Amino acid sequence: MNWLELHIDTSPAGLEPVTTLLSALGIDGVVVDDEGEFLEFLENNHQYWDYVDEELMARERGKSRITFYLEENESGFSLLGQVRIALSALKRERSDCGTLLLTMENLQDSDWENNWKQYYKPMEIGERLIVIPEWEQADTGGRIPLILNPGLTFGTGSHATTRLCLTALERHVRGGEQVLDLGCGSGILSVAALALGAEHAVAVDIDDKCLNVAYENASLNHIGRDRCRVLVGNVLSDDALRQEIGSGYDIVVANIVADVIIALAPMVGELKKREGLFLCSGIIDDRAVEVADRLRQAGLAILETRESEGWFSYLCR
């Protein structure tokens, strides 16, 4: 069996959030290298030396690195993609976690860029949708195709949280809706809503890379900018962006993380129509009850709860 040895460079402050992030993805067997542990080791083992090489001290200074291993197969590369997405989100949320650089032993980034595509295959989702990589050919079997090229920045649609949202959209988009997609990433949920019959979608993300990627994915599905508009910014803190987004949406979808959903909850009523729907996902199981409580406190009624692989989604009105 072949393994990928992966390293995440972070800061001392980033050790806990990064290990928590990995644990949420089911990766618990990690090795932590930290300057603090190195200095503690020196302090407690004076009897073994009376001189420590300055070059070694310099190499260890400020070092905080987490190492973990994944199998070099389809599931391993899929999980690696999820780690990349989660690290990108963490970097946006916190400024004290260092570079969060992800590197691999015996596999260069160029190899990743070429090799990851072989593990990204057409996926049937729900009863009506099929996600097809741009470079693949697939028999749709009568399903609605979503042609997608997420690049290396955003998700492929395979993550449980995305599949939960797609399944809910499949059931609740009936045609003619105005949709707001917060944390749009590759634009997959906006594209899906439009392919299912929604009239117009506004897709928003704080990562400016979404601008090109989401528009490109819309174009791959023959959806023009007259139906899909992509905006960059933080809806929680940018008043001008909220004014640009407007209100009166039939469906607001947020596939983000628990803390952002909690912060969004009080403003959802201003974004959607009175009878409009709020679909949220990206909620790990140990935060599900907390998020549900905060949604109710914000005046939202939870109509449907879905769970897959330890992740939850809520459909609210």
Contact 100, 38 (CB under 8 A): no
Q: DSSP character for 174?
A: -
Contact 112, 177 (CB under 8 A): no
- The reply to whether 207 sits in an annotated binding site is no
- The reply to whether 255 sits in an annotated binding site is yes
User: Under 8 Å CB-to-CB from 228, ≥6 apart: which residues?
Assistant: 187, 190, 191, 194, 200, 201, 203, 214, 215, 218
Pick from 194, 203, 198, 167: nearest CA to 279: 167
- The reply to whether 153 sits in an annotated binding site is no
Helices (H), the chain: 15-24, 35-44, 54-60, 74-93, 109-115, 160-172, 188-195, 210-220, 239-245, 258-271, 288-297
Q: How far is CA 60 from CA 45, 49, 51, in A?
A: 17, 17, 15
Alpha carbon distance 198, 179 (integer Å) = 7
Summarize the annotated binding site for S-adenosyl-L-methionine as residue ranges.
Answer: 162, 183, 205, 255
Binding residues: 162, 183, 205, 255
